[in-house]
Amino acid sequence: MTIATLRRWGGAVSVSLPKKILSMLDLKAGAKVDVKIDAGSIVLSPKHHSYTLHQLIQEQKVLERHKGGSLVEREWAEDTKRGRELL
């Protein structure tokens, strides 16, 4: 168990988390966390970003411009449906 100290920071109160714990969760300063109260305890959980399809497509286009070509494997892109995919 790790003990941390609550500190006043402007009009709020903050807690400093040890580097070892942050590293274990792949977190760093500026990361978003969910804050919940569970049975009288404060629970912090990493907030994982959800991407929209539009954001993913835009990122794909940026990567393709950087690489200078398509990142899509033609065999996969031109294959027929085999299950319940919605392509």
- Identify the band that residue 12 occupies on the pLDDT scale cut at 50, 70 and 90: very high
Of the CA atoms within 13 Å of residue 68, those in its CB half-sphere come to 0
pLDDT exceeds cutoff 80 at 14: yes
Of the CA atoms within 13 Å of residue 70, those in its CB half-sphere come to 6
**Domain covering 6-46 assigned CATH 2.10.260.10 in the classification:** yes
pLDDT exceeds cutoff 80 at 87: no
Statement: the pTM of the whole predicted model exceeds 0.85 = no
- Identify the band that residue 1 occupies on the pLDDT scale cut at 50, 70 and 90: confident
Please report the sign of the dihedral spanned by the C-alpha atoms of residue 31, residue 36, residue 39, residue 41: positive
**How is the chain split into domains, by residue range?**
6-46, 49-79
Q: Model confidence over 47-81: pLDDT tens digits?
A: 877 889 999 889 888 888 888 877 666 666 677 77
